[in-house]
Amino acid sequence: MAKVTGPLMSLSASGKIGDAIVFFPWKGVNAVRQWLKPTQPNSTLQGYVRAALYAIGKFIKQIASISGGDAVDSKVYSLNTAKAPAGVNWNAFAAQGFLNLLQSAGNFKTASLLALVSAYSSLGTAVLTAFKTNATALGMADFAFDYGYVVNIEAGCQLYFGALGCYHNSIQASAPYNTNPDSWAASDVDNFKTDMVATD
């Protein structure tokens, strides 16, 4: 990328010329580079990534809607905020524990998402029902994409993903957060939901 002074005999420039070059301000400097046509491949991998991000995002949105900037924050919000490293927002930290499970050597793996959805589906009937019931009570809803991972991701599965994130982030050394959600009892799921809406 070239840095320019007085581009096109002016003090600044922005926009593109044909489909060849584009002028723009960048970090306080006038810059110019080759214009690249934006692409939106809607590839299978992109669909998987978006489904995973959307699922954990819906979990985080529930926490944020409860802890919407007032003085009364949910326990899950407070625990994530307290545990997040300096300079990392609580929501990025909350997602990190789950998203790390989907990577191998820094790369997203579609098989990892399939494995986590399968683990959710394999939970005992009482626990599966507890995740579904509590997710619905929180206002979470199922969703599906039309490309990539096109299978419906249930609201209960989104809540399960959030529970996995909290466990893998070790947000608290006591139950249920010190136990993998794969081995939770229905009462643990109920307590997790309570912690999402109750103050600490």
- On whether the CB atoms of residues 90 and 169 are closer than 8 A, the answer is no
Does 69 share its domain with 135?
yes
Does 28 share its domain with 63?
no
Does 22 share its domain with 63?
no
Within a 10 A sphere around the Cβ of 70, how many other Cβ atoms? 7
Q: Is pTM, for the whole model, over 0.95?
A: no
Q: Which two tokens stand for residue 197?
A: 């809406």
- On whether the CB atoms of residues 180 and 170 are closer than 8 A, the answer is no
Instruction: Kindly state whether residue 171 falls inside one of the protein's structural domains.
Output: yes
Query: Tokens 């009570």, residue?
Result: 137
Does 94 share its domain with 179?
yes
Residue 112 predicted with pLDDT over 60: yes
* Predicted pLDDT at 129: 97
Does 29 share its domain with 106?
no
The Cα–Cα gap between 85 and 92 comes to 10
Does 24 share its domain with 106?
no
* Predicted pLDDT at 199: 74
pLDDT digits (tens, 9 = 90+) for 8-32: 666 667 778 888 888 888 877 878 8
In the predicted model, what is the mean pLDDT of the chain? 88
- On whether the CB atoms of residues 178 and 172 are closer than 8 A, the answer is yes
* Predicted pLDDT at 71: 45
Q: Which two tokens stand for residue 100?
A: 């790390």
Does 27 share its domain with 60?
no
Residue 142: Cβ-neighbour burial (10 angstroms; 0-12, 13-18, 19+)? middle
Q: How far is CA 53 from CA 24, 94, 113, 169, in A?
A: 30, 12, 11, 17
Does 23 share its domain with 63?
no
Instruction: Kindly state whether residue 102 falls inside one of the protein's structural domains.
Output: yes
Instruction: Kindly state whether residue 130 falls inside one of the protein's structural domains.
Output: yes
Do strands 2-3 and 29-34 pair parallel, antiparallel, or not at all (unpaired)?
Answer: antiparallel
The Cα–Cα gap between 136 and 171 comes to 24
Residue 56 sits in which domain range?
44-197
- Return the H-helix or E-strand segment holding 104: strand 103-104
pLDDT digits (tens, 9 = 90+) for 75-86: 999 999 999 999
Segment 145-162 mean pLDDT: 95
The Cα–Cα gap between 82 and 171 comes to 8
